[in-house]
Amino acid sequence: MWYLCVFYHRLLEYRKPEFESLAGLFGAFDGTTTGLLEWKLPEDHHPDSPFHFVNIPSEEIARNIASRSILVKGIYELWGDGQSFEELEEAVKSYPDERKLPYLSRDSTFKINVESFGKVISFEEQNNRLQKLAFVPFKGRVNLKKPDHNFFLMDNDDYGSENGLPPIVHRRIFFGREIGTADRKILQTYQLKSRKYLGPTAMDAEMAFLMANQAQVRTGKLVYDPFVGTGSILIAAAHFGAMTMGADIDIRVVRDGRGPDCNVWSNFKQYGLPMPLSLLRADNNLPPWRSGLKEMFDAIICDPPYGVRAGGRKSGGRKLLKGVVAPYTVPDDKRTGHIPSTAPYSLVECVHDLLDLAARMLVTGGRLVYFYPVLRDNESVDPNFPEHPCFKLVASCEQILSYRYSRVLLTMIKIAPYTEDIAEAARIKHLEFKENHLKWLEDGNLRSAVFEPADIHINGSSDAKFGTKPKYRGKYV
Amino acid sequence: MRLLTHNMLSSNIKGVTNGFPLLIEVEKVVEKQVDFNEDFLRNMFPKIEWKALVEASRTMGYTELPENAESSMLDSDEFLRKFHHALIELHLEEGALVCPETGRKFPVNKGIPNMLLHEDEV
């Protein structure tokens, strides 16, 4: 059945992929394998509009999607829409009675929400609009606190340009019954500013929950984050009931934190979430898994260090990997408490290791969800995302971070088993990385591209680019 | 460190061919209650090296696990409870994991094993 889905006007590219991941989680695709839903736009609506029609097999699935989602404001059974109240009345009247009457009965309570996308409407205007709904034969009583049925009256009227919202061709009014809405209160509960233990790159709550939704996290699943840091991603996974495991090369992060009650464990305690099954100090470049171990995790979710805000590290000193010095032999009496040296870990190598780990350690059908940085200086060229024979890329959602670069959330599904051939190819690649250590570091030098000063004075056109605010900002929201 | 983690780890020192299972040196064991989830246990069972789990749980002072196990035993609630307890409720708070081949100790502090290698082990 077709429903009206209204999104929050945020993170535009993340909206449909989140919806479809949750649809998969709640069984909308049983029997099919596409993982894609049918979508339609209301007449003359911009693709970035918050209003979309979507085909979902059942009301129950729709309700589950809405209440779990972060970006769905609500899913509604549309009773009618039109460019004016006259058109709306006609549409609602011709909507079949057997779909309407059960929700209008005498013994039920109801509430009507009146909203307008892109602007605030006064209480008086809300009342005016409610009066115009007199043609709907409501028999029940109004209950604003706990109604049996919620209805909504929403429109997108002309709100002028220059406000960063998608352009509107003409007004459209929607009326219908609410099926479910998102619970964005969890974002307040988990907001970073009230979290005890934070690092410089802690993932904000909204994004962490979106990542957990992309990964289809649910009760009893095992989720792993190889760059766990302060645990911000695993906290979202644990909130949805997953068992969690995390690793990090930096012991300050995983163990000491900032004292006995300010560390990764305490972050889970703060929210009353189950503790991670395992935290471990390990190097993603030389993972300590036993041979033969595979297909342990249902999802791997992470924000790899790509060297802009936090740089990756791996085992082995810089000079050691360059071949300038022989490995330092640790004297026997100093082995306990010895802090081994680490070297920079380039993005290409890091992503290679991540894909190899995921190919081996994910169950078939398991999901790898991670951020990948892209430079924005060449907008016409589609960036090449990492590929792997075991994986299919199902979603790539861009979030613009600065004028120079974005990060793209990639969602990949494991579709083929990890074979000996693939393992061997990965081993050879690993050795190649070791040999060309410096070359890969140069190649992966994203940081200098991001922070290099702009030539505003030499290139006259840049002034214009910075000077005027674009009329419609699209993905910036 | 839970025994699930112990069951996954091995010593990956360069040149070591038989780094699994790591021996456990116990200083302090605590029990941490985890919600029982049957599906999770059923999923994990085929991936677990049973002998290593039995040995490890004995080192940690839990002797209830049977010497051998097969998937038909998953139908017994009693077995599942024991498996659950040994796999994810026993927790090594302080101690060490010891490489069976070289004797190198990987310390476990505040429940977190440090598997990072020294320069001459990479």
Say how far apart CA A179 and CA A306 lie, in whole Å: 41
Measure CB to CB from residue A249 to each of B4, B44, B116 and give the nearest one: B116
Q: Which of residues 56-75 of B touch A (CB under 8 A)?
A: none
Its ipTM equals 0.95
Q: Which domain holds residue A120?
A: 2-183
Nearest residue of B to residue A284, measured between CA atoms: B116
Both A67 and A149 in one domain: the answer is: yes
In a domain, A476, yes or no: no
**Claim to verify: residue A69 and residue A93 sit in the same structural domain:** yes
Strand A141-142 to A109-116 pairing: parallel
CATH architecture group of domain B3-111: Single Sheet (2.20)
A346: amino acid identity, one letter: S
Report yes or no on A472 lying in a domain.
no
Contact A408, A384 (CB under 8 A): no
**Whether pLDDT at A200 is above 90:** no
> Does residue B50 register a pLDDT over 90?
yes
The answer on A237 and A143 residing in a single domain is: no
Segment A207-212 shows an average pLDDT of 98
Please say which residue of A123, A150, A183 terminates a domain.
A183
If one counts every other C-beta atom within 10 angstroms of the C-beta of residue A456, the result is 12
Rounded Cα–Cα distance for residues A392 and B70 (Å): 34
CATH of the domain at A381: 3.40.50.150
CA angle A251, A255, A256 (to 5 degrees): 95
Which of B119, B120, B121 should one mutate to test binding to chain A, selecting the residue with the greatest count of A CBs within 10 A? B119
Same domain for A119 and A226, yes or no, is no
Nearest CA in chain A to B17: A291
Residues A108 and A250 in one domain: no
Between A383 and A225, the more confident residue is A225
Mean pLDDT for chain A overall: 88
Q: Please judge whether B9 and A289 are an interchain contact, meaning their C-beta atoms are less than 8 angstroms apart.
A: yes
Q: pLDDT digit string (tens) for B63-109?
A: 999 999 999 999 999 999 999 999 999 999 999 999 999 999 999 99
In a domain? residue A189 = no
Domain end marker among A152, A183, A214: A183
Last residue of a domain, which of A183, A212, A247? A183
Task: Report CB contact under 8 Å: B47, A296.
Answer: yes
Q: Is B110 on the interface with A (CB under 8 A)?
A: yes
Residues A249 and A280 both lie in one domain: yes
Residues A304, A273: contact at Cβ < 8 Å?
A: no
Q: Which residues contact B113 (CB under 8 A, 6 or more apart)?
A: A280, A281, B1, B5, B9, B97, B106, B107
Peptide bond into B21 cis (omega under 30): yes
Size of interface A-B (CB pairs under 8 A): 110
**Chain A residue closest to B40 (CA)?**
A220
Closest-approach residue (CA) in chain B for A293:
B8
Q: φ and ψ at A197, to 5 degrees?
A: -115, 115
Q: Which residues in chain A are closer than 8 Å to B8, comparing Cβ atoms?
A: 289-290, 293, 296
pLDDT, one tens digit per residue, over A80-137 is 999 999 999 999 999 999 999 999 999 999 999 999 998 888 999 999 999 999 999 9
The CA-atom distances, in angstroms, between A367 and each of A212, A223, A333, A357 are 10, 10, 45, 12
Quick one: A385 and A236 in the same domain?
Answer: yes
Segment A290-302, tens digit of pLDDT: 999 999 999 999 9
Residues near A381 by beta carbon (within 8 Å), at least 6 away in sequence: none
pLDDT tens, residue by residue, A306-349: 777 667 788 877 777 767 777 778 777 777 777 788 888 888 88
Query: What is the residue-averaged pLDDT of chain B?
Result: 94
Closest CA to B32 of A398, A77, A275, A313: A275
**Whether A7 and A129 share a structural domain:** yes
| Phi, psi angle pair for A366, to nearest 5° | -70, 160
Residues A160 and A281 in one domain: no
Residue A310 belongs to a domain? yes
> The sheet that has A149-155: what strands, in order across it?
A39-40, A51-55, A2-7, A72-82, A173-181, A149-155, A109-116, A141-142
Q: Is residue A188 part of a domain?
A: no
Number of domains in chain A: 2
**To the nearest whole angstrom, how far is the Cα of B31 from the nearest Cα of chain A?**
12
Taking CA atoms, A250 is separated from A256, A279, A310, in Å, by 10, 12, 12
Query: Which pLDDT score is estimated for A380?
Result: 52
DSSP symbols for A224-256: EETT-TTSHHHHHHHHTT-EEEEEES-HIIIII
Per the model's pLDDT, the better-predicted residue between A376 and B34 turns out to be: B34
